[in-house]
Amino acid sequence: MPYIYTPVLQITATQSELETLLAAYRRDGKSIGFVPTMGALHKGHISLITLSINENDVTVCSIFVNPTQFNDPADLKRYPRPVESDREMLENAGCDILFMPSVEEMYPNEDYSLLNEDFGNLDKVMEGKSRPGHFAGMITIVNKLFTAVKPHKAYFGNKDFQQLTIVKYFVKKHRLPILIRECPISRDIDELAMSSRNRLLSVEERKAARLIPSTLFNVKEMWGRKTIAELKAFVESEFANEPVLKLDYFEIVHFETLMSLMEPISPETPIIACIATFAGKIRLIDNIRLQ
Ligand code: PAF
């Protein structure tokens, strides 16, 4: 009889049950990998799950649409929640445990108090400026999830580069025994960075959104030959000519401090270009490492 592998995804909504599921692994000294998500999973998420499966004895994925990191209630309301297809994707990927708590489980008694962390410049610029309170909400839930899962390694995608930088800073500052694994941006066939929000785009918006990666690739190609001011002017003119998209910001910043850069720039400085745009009401972000 051929052996048929039937993947079993254990699903839990409570922290106490999660702890029971993980207790045996902890007792046996097994490694725990963790992929926090807000669901509406795509191939980018699955690449994190696969990496975690390859690097750990057990992989936990969380799906929780965290209300405290949305500064716009309409954005929270429209955030996609395709629970059944998410579950199927995780099962097919071979994920071991899905943690899918309720809002009450993560914020009992409607206590939405947030961590009051000082991130210096890191949460003041770009997304921090455009989405006030977003990073306080994000780090509050990430900390709660880290406490619930107690992973050895946690996996974050590079598309949310500023989020990743803040999580790394937080883990280092509080000496949490968690290795943060940074994973490359997954791009679709048209090069658009994969995002749960992409499924909210109309056909026209989706087509126009190709301008985001193509502009970043052009910036990278021109890097070293044009000044930062010239590159910013180039990006602004590209988006001014595309009525379906609205540029929120384009910044060229230091890879670690996220400080805006001035010329001249030494070849050793690590630099990244970050962009945020609106396609209608849908916010899309992307980035590219320049040097
Ligand atoms: O990147 C996300 O999906 C969310 O910000 C995270 C890390 C799951 C926290 O809610």
Predicted confidence (pLDDT) per residue in 155-165, tens digit = 999 999 999 99
Compute, in angstroms, the gap from residue 139 CA to the centroid of ligand 1. Answer: 9
**Which residues are bridge partners to 250 per DSSP?**
275
Q: Give residue 66 CA to ligand 1 midpoint distance, Å.
A: 8
Ligand 1 is surrounded, with C-beta below 6 A, by: 36-38, 66, 69, 138, 141-142, 160, 163
CA gap 103, 108 in Å, rounded: 8
pLDDT at 264: 86
Give the mean pLDDT of the chain.
Answer: 96
Q: At a CB cut-off of 8 Å and minimum separation 6, what does 85 contact?
A: 41
The gap from C-alpha 50 to its chain's centroid, in whole angstroms, comes to 16
Tokens of 254: 């230091």
Ordered by start, the domain boundaries in the chain are 10-183, 196-289
Q: Which atom of ligand 1 is nearest to the CA of 196?
A: 3
Whether the per-residue pLDDT at 172 is higher than 80: the answer is yes
Measure 137 CA to ligand 1 centroid, in angstroms.
10
Catalytic residue from among 42, 45, 152, 254: 45
| Fold that domain 10-183 belongs to in CATH | Rossmann fold (3.40.50)
b/e code 44-77 from CB counts within 10 Å (16+ = b): bbbbbbbbbbeebebbbbbbbbbebbbeeeebee
Residue nearest atom 9 of ligand 1, based on CA coordinates: 138
Question: Among candidates 205, 252, 215, which has minimal Cα distance to 236?
Answer: 215
Residue 290 gets which letter from DSSP? -
pLDDT of the residue at 6: 52
Q: What pLDDT, on the 0 to 100 scale, is given for residue 262?
A: 85
Look at residue 194 and tell me whether its pLDDT is greater than 80.
yes
- Give the pairing type, strands 32-37 and 179-183: unpaired
Give me the count of residues in the chain.
291
**256: pLDDT strictly greater than 70:** yes
Q: What is the separation, in whole angstroms, between the first and last Cα of the chain?
A: 55
Distance 35 CA to ligand 1 centre (A): 9
Q: What is the pLDDT of residue 286?
A: 98
Active site residue 254: no
Residues contacting 250, CB < 8 A, separation 6+: 232, 235, 236, 273, 274, 275
CB 163 within 8 A of CB 138: yes
Name the residue of 35, 66, 79, 167 whose CB sits within 8 Å of the most ligand 1 atoms, as the mutation to test its pocket: 66
* Residue having the nearest C-alpha atom to atom 8 of ligand 1: 37
In the DSSP assignment, the letter for residue 67 is G
Give the burial string for 9-28 (b: 16+ CB within 10 Å, else e).
beebeebeebeebbeebeee
CB 35 within 8 A of CB 61: yes
> Which atom of ligand 1 is nearest to 160's Cα?
1
**CATH class given for the domain over 196-289:** alpha beta
Measured distance CA(24)–CA(49) in Å, rounded: 21
Band (130; pLDDT cuts 50, 70, 90)? very high
| pLDDT range class, residue 175, cuts 50, 70, 90 | very high
Whether 4 shows a pLDDT value over 60: the answer reads no
Question: Which one, of 187, 184, 185, 208, lies nearest residue 282 by Cα?
Answer: 208
Q: Strand 271-279 and strand 245-254: pairing?
A: antiparallel
Please give the pLDDT value at position 3. 53
